[in-house]
Amino acid sequence: MVDQAQKRLKEAFQTKEKAGRIRQQNEAVILEAAEIEFAQHGFKGTSLNAIAERAGLPKSNILYYFQNKVGLYGAVLSDILDMWNQSFNDTTADDDPFETLNTYIRSKIRYSRSHPLASKIFAIEIIQGAPHLKKFLAQELHNWVGDRARVIQAWIDAGKMDPVDPVHLLFLIWGGTQHYADFGTQVQWALDKPELGDEDFKKAEDTLCHIILKGIGLAR
């Protein structure tokens, strides 16, 4: 989705590429700790002290690697955007809609499972009005959605699927798939399980693909 936005974020926040082994490892530890804390308390609600304690490093160390709290948060966001929409990016009207959307939905759910913290940080940021991402992402997202919507519209015009609004279809896919990361707590309550297993995510994938693909007139 967001090559351009990610690049600009990186320019603004990323630390030096070349660095000693100790520093690289410490930075990784800090970013991991920061990810957990930001996902749990949001930007304003997270304290550098809490991150430092979780990372097992002095607070001063964090502020030496990253110039301030916003810089650290930006680095975390940059890491997240690093691995956003892999699939569905290069799709054209000639591609098979069933295959493309089936893959897209399943990869989205798998991302929810493998990177729940990243999804949560992103979700909180958006819910709160995306004060730190707006300038990096707003235009980019509009372009990405526009491009994808045109592909879907072409499929519709070719009679390959039902005439549903492409943008709202994308929203449904996003909402339905991200739910498993962002609202994982709620999902666990509903299923009364401390953690979801392979079979749960398999069932989630299959159910979503069945409903959405059949719902837009695609079947296999």
Partner DNA sequence: TTGATAATTGATCTATCGGTCAACTTTGCT
Partner DNA sequence: AGCAAAGTTGACCGATAGATCAATTATCAA
Cα–Cα distances in Å, from 183 out to 11, 120, 175, 177?
A: 32, 9, 10, 10
CB 43, CB 51: distance < 8 Å? no
**Binding-site member from 5, 31, 34, 43 for its own copies (CB under 8 A):** 43
CA geometry: angle 24, 27, 31, nearest 5 deg: 140
Residue 28 engages DNA in binding (rule: CB under 7 A): no
Residue 130 engages its own copies in binding (rule: CB under 8 A): yes
User: Concatenated DSSP letters for 120-167?
Assistant: HHHHHHHHTT-TTTHHHHHHHHHHHHHHHHHHHHHHHHTTSS----HH
164-183 residues in contact with its own copies (CB under 8 A) are 164-165, 167-172, 174-180, 182-183
> Nearer to DNA by C-beta: 60 or 86?
60
Residue 128 engages DNA in binding (rule: CB under 7 A): no
Which is it for the CA torsion 78, 80, 83, 89, positive or negative? Answer: negative
61-90 residues in contact with DNA (CB under 7 A) are 61, 63-65, 67-70
Q: Structure tokens of 66? A: 């990253």
Per-residue interface string for the shown chain with its own copies, residues 71-110, x marking contact by CB under 8 A: ----------------------------------------
List of residues contacting its own copies (CB under 8 A): 39-46, 120, 123-124, 126-130, 137-138, 141-142, 145, 162, 164-165, 167-172, 174-180, 182-183, 185-187, 189-192, 203-204, 206-208, 210-217
